[in-house]
Amino acid sequence: MNGRHIVAVDGGGTRSRVALATADGRIIARVEGGFANLTSDFETSRQNIMQAIEAVYATANMPAGAAPSDIAILGIAGANVGTGAEQLSAALEFASVHVMSDREITIAGVLGDGDGTLVQAGTGSFFVSRLQGRLNQIGGWGLQLGDDCGGAWLGRELLRWTLKAHDSVIETTGLARQVLARFGNSPSEIVLFAKTATPQHFGAFAPEIFEARDAGDPLAIRIIDAALADLHGILDSLDAIHTKQIHLRGSVGERYAPLLRDEFRQLVVKSTGDGLSGAVDLGVKLLRQTPPG
């Protein structure tokens, strides 16, 4: 096992993070790459992942030729749907390749083997709880049918309600006017944008929505309140209260912390691990079971 390494990849809708670790889990190099979502854009995601893997070897001053004796653990958004995981695995040359959803590596990194509730909300979203060994999972189905409360969901809602404001279904607000102006005050341009927008494009609006909510914009408050209502319902379904701790992960998930209902807010804890550390931990376990290549 000496000299073999673990390549750990945490790929999401906005970026991918890659670490190169020794057989005992010590990380010796890290890099960031482009987005990685196998359902929204498989080919670009594949290229981004492979480029980031090449970069992490270069950062560690190791030849790319070392890869065939190493093990790769990839937790990628969308890997739980369709055949993307198999296609990506076939494109990589390692002694052993394990492609799974980003949910699996995040559970390993954040919850470990203990009880708790995980809210992962970045560009997309998924929700998990473990109580007395029983795992309960919600979401992770992509923006078209899910990604509730995630950044892309928020951005899509902003554009939808901006059009409603334009149509005078609701009273317009500063945020709605600001968004419409960005598209040349043309609702048609919003529609055309939405036809080809990726989750990453929609998610780019999320920080603006939170900022507008903090400033008291009624439309931003409406959107965030709707997300919170969904999130509270999900936490109830996951029996989060009885898991005793709630981990809010991701750029959007962390923003919900002060907005939760009291009984949930009191259970929020700071996570020590994440998806990348979870992938490394899984790699250490799997490398012990993998014969030298």
Mean of pLDDT values over 267-292: 85
Count, residues in the chain:
293
CA distance linking residue 66 with residue 119, whole number of Å: 36
Residue at 136 is within a domain: no
Three-class HEC string of 123-168: CCEEEEEEECCEEEEEECCCCCCCCCCCHHHHHHHHHHHHHHHHCC
228: nearest Cα among 255, 260, 268: 260
Output the pTM of the full model: 0.79
From residue 274, alpha-carbon distances to 103, 107, 157, 210 in Å are: 10, 8, 28, 24
The DSSP secondary structure of 170-218, one letter per residue, reads S---HHHHHHHHHTTT-HHHHHHHHHH--HHHHHTTHHHHHHHHHTT-H
- What per-residue confidence (pLDDT) applies to 234? 97
Structure tokens at 234: 């999900």
Three-class HEC string of 98-128: EEEEHHHHHHHHHCCCCCEEEEEECCCEEEE
- What per-residue confidence (pLDDT) applies to 1? 41
Q: How many CA atoms lie within 13 A of 40 on its CB side?
A: 28
Mean of pLDDT values over 240-256: 94
User: H-helix or E-strand containing 82?
Assistant: none
- What per-residue confidence (pLDDT) applies to 17? 93
Residue at 34 is within a domain: yes
How many domains is the chain partitioned into structurally? 1
Question: What mean pLDDT value characterizes the chain?
Answer: 91
Residue at 218 is within a domain: no
Residue at 251 is within a domain: no
Q: How many CA atoms lie within 13 A of 171 on its CB side?
A: 4
Which range marks the domain in which residue 66 is found? 5-108+274-289
pLDDT at 221 over 90: yes
DSSP 258: G
40-49, 158-167, 246-255 — which is least confidently predicted? 40-49
Structure tokens at 257: 């912390």
Instruction: List, for residues 44-86, the tens digit of each pLDDT value.
Output: 999 999 999 999 999 999 876 667 788 999 999 888 888 888 9
Residue at 43 is within a domain: yes
Residue at 135 is within a domain: no
CA distance linking residue 222 with residue 288, whole number of Å: 51
Instruction: List, for residues 90-120, the tens digit of each pLDDT value.
Output: 888 888 899 998 888 988 899 988 899 999 9
* Contact criterion met (CB below 8 Å) for 35 and 124: no
Residue at 176 is within a domain: no
Residue at 246 is within a domain: no
Q: What angle do CA 129, 205, 99 make, to 5 degrees?
A: 45
The three-state secondary structure class of 273 is: coil
* Pairing, β 116-121 against β 125-131: antiparallel
Instruction: List, for residues 109-152, the tens digit of each pLDDT value.
Output: 999 888 999 999 998 899 999 998 899 999 878 777 888 999 99
Q: What is the CATH number of the domain that holds 51?
A: 3.30.420.40
Structure tokens at 143: 């923006």
Other CB atoms closer than 10 Å to residue 293's CB: what's the count?
A: 13
25-29, 102-106, 228-232 — which is least confidently predicted? 102-106
The three-state secondary structure class of 83 is: coil
Residue type, 228: L
Residues 6+ positions from 114 with CB-CB distance below 8 Å: 130
- What per-residue confidence (pLDDT) applies to 213? 97
Instruction: List, for residues 185-197, the tens digit of each pLDDT value.
Output: 999 999 999 999 9
